[in-house]
Every structure is written in structure tokens, then in C-alpha cells.
Amino acid sequence: MPDVVVIGAGVVGAACALYAARAGLGVTVVDQGTVAGGTTGAGEGNVLVSDKEPGPELDLALLSSGLWAGLAADVGGFEHEPKGGLVVAETPEAMTALTGLAAKQESSGVRAAGVEPQDYEPHITSGLAGAVYYPQDAQVQPMLAAARLLRASGAQVRTGVRVTGLTRSGDRITGVRTDEGDLRAGAVVNAAGTWAGDVAALAGIRLPVLPRRGFILVTEPLPEPLIRHKVYTAAYVTNVASEDEGLETSAVVEGTPAGTVLIGASRERVGYDRTVSYPVLARLAAQAVALFPALAGRQVIRAYCGFRPYCPDHLPVIGPDPRAPGLFHATGHEGAGIGLAPATGLLISRLLTGAAPPLDLFPFRPERFA
């Protein structure tokens, strides 16, 4: 019998498995699909501090940023790129708001500096009002990251296994029921991403985690690097914090070690509808070309969509659920799950072993939606 069963083999579940194993616990990971087969595999790999207001999520992001750097050194193999982020403003008003946010972030430990966009990105469009450079922003390859963390954990990983229920002893959760039989454990971690609400419902608990769809375009490999940093417009920060159910897009552009360029970002709540929206793809392409005119005429080789696990208050759910002792949640990170995964895994491992967590978990408590 393992000490803990983690439901979900995405990057958050992988981080929970890794840190739990490093704390001396025996871990089994189960997933109805494949490793990184859900939201993780449809992400860009953002490790950002630049897009977060001062508060609990930014504190979590700063902790996670340092942990990713450490994991790159002792696990490696997932294309960690500490390349920094460049947030650009298209109007003087946007630049004023951007520098005001940066000033507030600096009081929390974020490093930021106002810069001329062309000094950092020679191919960027002219006429921008300015930019702020964030050296702590980074990038990882999300599918590789999940796979490498799982391998480093030494956990037993069982894919293609669907969780159908939770076992109990009195009120306490003691394991999971699956379509391949029961699996007992000392604790269960719900890291099921957008499906975490369904897992919680198996325990009779309401957890309002909803899917928020986003599309990404991938260009052909370019013969030489065109974009040096993670580059996005100030509108992206507003869209991340928006509660609007309708479509919102903002330019997010970055290169990869393979030479391709990733183009985002869109957000809309349409359930689990995977229908390709060509108007959305066209809008993303147009925004990218407006930001980097040299992209005009480049071929797009593929497009894909994923579902971010969205919570109404834009904060993840991390910690034990007092309504079902033995059940822990690690979900609801929306588009920041890859960046916040190591800190989430560390916090869960501390809770599982009774050690003091490095951050106040009160803002992330699962029962706040009750």
C-alpha cells in the first residue's frame, strides 16, 4: 500500500509525486490518460512572475521560480530557459499601468526594469510606448517536465486507469476505486486539473474548477532565432485576471530551442468544446504579426487547444480538505499550473508529512468555496 495516491500525471501531479517521494513517502500516480495528456501537454511552459499582482499567487510564483531553477540542475532534461520576459505597452496609458504594477511587484521581491523594447527584441515593431523587462521569467517544455519529474520521483505510474470512486474508513478517505480495482493509501492527492471538480464530487464535495479554453499556434522552425525572450502585451495581464466567460485574446510570442515560435493567447469558457475556431487562430496570428512584423509570411505548422483549470477567484486550490480527511487538493492554477507546479508539490509534501509549509496556505484552502 503506498503512502499516497496522486490522481493526475500532469506537471502538478508529477511535482507532488516528486516532493512526496523526496520526503520519504511511497507514491503511486494514476491517470485516466497519459503522462501530460491533459492541460500540461497543451501548455506553453510558462514560468512567470511578471503577470501576477502582489499577493499569495505571486508569493507562490516566486517560490516556484527558484525551485524550477534547482530542478533544472538536479533533474534536468526539460529545456529550462531562464530567458526573461518582456512585457510591452502599446499606449502611454498602458505603459503607466505597467510601470505601476512593476513598482508594486518589486516590493514583493520581483526584479523589473523599464526598457526600450528594441534594445531587447530587435525585430519587434516600432512605435510601442515602452516595455518592462522581468529577468525572473522563464520557460520549460511542459511535457518533458512532467515526464522527467515523474521519473525522478521513482513513483509507480499507472496510466489509462480511471478513478471511479474514493474508499473510506468512517469519514476518512483511504484510497481510490478505479476501473482496475481499489488502491488503498494513507492519503489521496487530487491533481486532476480541469477534472478535479469531478474527483472532489466523488467525495461529496463541491470544488468549482472549470475549463477555460485556449489556443496556441506553432510556426515552422525558423533558420535563425527571431525572438529572444517571452514577449507579451500588457493586455495579457488583464486577460489573466478577467472573469469574463467570452473570448479574450492578447499577443504572447516566444521562440523555442527547436526554432519554432509559439503564439497565443486566447481565453474563453466554452466547456470542453475542442472545435477549432479559425477566427480565433486568425486573430492570434494577426496580433503576433503586429508585434513582430518579421513573422508575416511564415508558415503555421499546427495549432492546438487546451483547457486551463479555472477557479472563480483566480487562486489555486492547495491543501487538505477538512470535509474529507485524507483528501488533499492541488489544482485550479488556470494558466499558471506549469510555473506553479514545484511550489505546489513542495507544499503538498510538507502537509502530507506534517512539516511546516514555507507559505501561508489560508488563501488556497479548498473549503473557501463552501
Residues 6+ apart with CB under 8 A from 108: 54, 58, 59, 62
From residue 257, alpha-carbon distances to 13, 142, 201, 226, 263 in Å are: 25, 13, 41, 12, 15
Q: Please state whether the predicted TM-score (pTM) of the whole model is above 0.75.
A: yes
167, 182 in Cβ contact below 8 A?
A: yes
pLDDT in tens, 305-319: 999 999 999 999 999
pLDDT in tens, 151-210: 999 999 999 999 999 999 999 999 999 999 999 999 999 999 999 999 999 999 999 999
Indicate whether 47 pLDDT > 80: yes
202, 163 in Cβ contact below 8 A?
A: yes
pLDDT of residue 240: 81
pLDDT of residue 181: 96
7, 193 in Cβ contact below 8 A?
A: no
pLDDT of residue 239: 77
The average confidence (pLDDT) of the chain is 96
DSSP run (H or E) holding 230: strand 230-233
- Alpha carbons 196 and 183: distance in angstroms, whole number: 18
DSSP run (H or E) holding 341: helix 337-353
pLDDT of residue 237: 86
pLDDT in tens, 331-368: 999 999 999 999 999 999 999 999 999 999 999 999 99
C-alpha triplet 293, 299, 301: angle, nearest 5° = 135
pLDDT of residue 245: 86
For the residues 93-104, what does the mean pLDDT come to? 96
For the residues 103-120, what does the mean pLDDT come to? 97
Indicate whether 108 pLDDT > 80: yes
pLDDT of residue 92: 96
237, 221 in Cβ contact below 8 A?
A: no
105 confidence band (pLDDT: 50, 70, 90): very high
- Alpha carbons 56 and 338: distance in angstroms, whole number: 17
